[in-house]
Chain A
C-alpha cells in the first residue's frame, strides 16, 4: 500500500468511527482533552496495523472499542483514579421498557438496544457492570468501594453480563 492510499484509508476510518471512539473515550475519562488525545492515539495505532487488519476476523468497530477501552484503562490506572466518570444511574433512564427492546430488534447492535438491556437489569448488577467496564475497576475494587462482599459483586457482574447476553441474543428469534 502506498502512503497516499494509507492516508485515504485512515481518513475513511476516522470519518466513519471518530464519534464512536471519542464518545467511548469521553465517557471513560470524563475529560475532553484527554479523550481527544486518546482518540488520536487509537487511530494512529490502528492505522499502523491497518495493512494487517483482517475484516473477516471481527468488525472494525469492535476492534476500535477494544483498543479504546484498553488505552483508557491504562490512563485511568496510571493516574491512580479508579472512580468511573460514567454516572451509572443514567442508564436507568431508558428503563425496562419491553417495547423499546422489541423496536430495537435489528441486525445491528444499536445504542438503544444495549441501553435498554442495561436499563432492564436490577440496579446493583447494572452498577457493577458499568463500574467494571467503563470505570476499569476490578471486582475487588468495586467491592471495596461499595462496601459489599467480593462474592456478591462477582455474582452481580456474572448475572448482569449473562442477562445482557440473553437479551442481545434474543434478536431475530421471534417473541
Chain B
C-alpha cells in the first residue's frame, strides 16, 4: 500500500457493527492489517458495540433445554481435535484418508455450498475480533524473491488466528495454497486457500502451541500432507 488514507470514523463504526457492505469490508480489512492506529480506533469502538447486548432483559430458557445441552455436550466428547501430523510421514494414512474422502466427498461438497455464506459471515467476525485486539501478535509471511509485491499477515490472539492475503498471485490451475503451523519436521494444518482472489482473509485453525513458523505450500487438492514447495514463510515472533 503506497499511501495510507485512513478510513473515517463512520466507516470504522459500520465495520465494528458489521453494518457495511462486503466490498467496503474487504478494503477496510486490508487497511487494518497494515495500520495499527486504525486497529486501535476499532478496538475503542467494540466495548460500546458489546454493551448493546446488555440492553435486552435476561430470560430464563425452558428447563428442558438445560438437559438437552448437557446431554449433547456428552455426545460431543468423542469428537476432540486430532493430533499434529508429521511432514512427509504416514503415507499409508494418506492413502486411507483419500479412500474415505472419496466416499464422503459428495455429501461434504453439498454441505459446503449451503454453509458458504454463513462461513463468510463468521470469518468476518473473527477477523474483526482478532484485528481489533491490541494484544494480538502480528506475523509477516512473505517471499520477496518469489513474489515481490505479495504479503500475508497472520494475527494471533489466544486460540484464534486469521490470515490476511495481499496481492498473492493466483495458484496454478489445479492447485491450492496450504497453510501450516510448522516446527522443524512437523507440520499441523492451519488452513487452505483457493488462491483465486488476490486479496483475501481466512480464519486459520487454532495455532498449534509448538509452532515456530508459518509456511505456505502449493498443493494439489488430493494431497493431505504437505508435499509441495514452500512458497511463503514467516517466523513466529519471540514472546515479549
Residues of A within 8 A of B (CB): 3, 6-7, 10-11, 14-15, 18-20, 22-24, 26-27, 35-36, 39-40, 43-44, 47-49, 52-54, 57, 61-62, 65-66, 68-70, 73-74, 77-78, 86, 91, 109-111, 113-115, 117-118, 129, 132-134, 137-140, 142, 154-155, 157-158, 161-162, 164-165, 168
- Residues of B near A27 (CB, < 8 A) are 56
* Residue among B18, B59, B117, B206 facing the most chain A CB atoms (10 A cut-off): B59
Having A7-B74, A15-B66, A66-B50, one finds 9 other A-B pairs with CB under 8 Å, namely A14-B69, A19-B61, A22-B58, A40-B65, A69-B53, A114-B52, A133-B17, A157-B19, A158-B9
Q: Are A165 and B48 in contact (CB under 8 A)?
A: yes
Closest chain-B Cβ to A158's Cβ sits at a distance in Å of 5
On whether A154 and B70 interact (CB within 8 A), knowing A66-B129, A133-B52, A137-B19, the answer reads no
6 tightest A-B CB contacts, nearest first: A52-B159, A65-B53, A165-B48, A19-B58, A23-B59, A22-B61
Q: Are A70 and B125 in contact (CB under 8 A)?
A: yes
Q: Which of B47-74 contact A (CB under 8 A)?
A: 47-62, 65-66, 68-70, 72-74
Residues of B within 8 A of A (CB): 9-10, 13-14, 16-21, 44-45, 47-62, 65-66, 68-70, 72-74, 76-77, 117-118, 121-122, 125, 129, 133, 135, 157-159, 206
Q: Are A23 and B70 in contact (CB under 8 A)?
A: no
Closest residue of chain A to B44, judged by CB? A165
- Residues of B near A53 (CB, < 8 A) are 158-159
On whether A3 and B77 interact (CB within 8 A), knowing A23-B58, A157-B13, the answer reads yes
- Residues of A near B74 (CB, < 8 A) are 3, 7
On whether A164 and B48 interact (CB within 8 A), knowing A86-B56, A110-B54, A138-B21, the answer reads yes
Closest chain-B Cβ to A127's Cβ sits at a distance in Å of 13
Bound complex: CA A164 to CA B135 (Å): 25
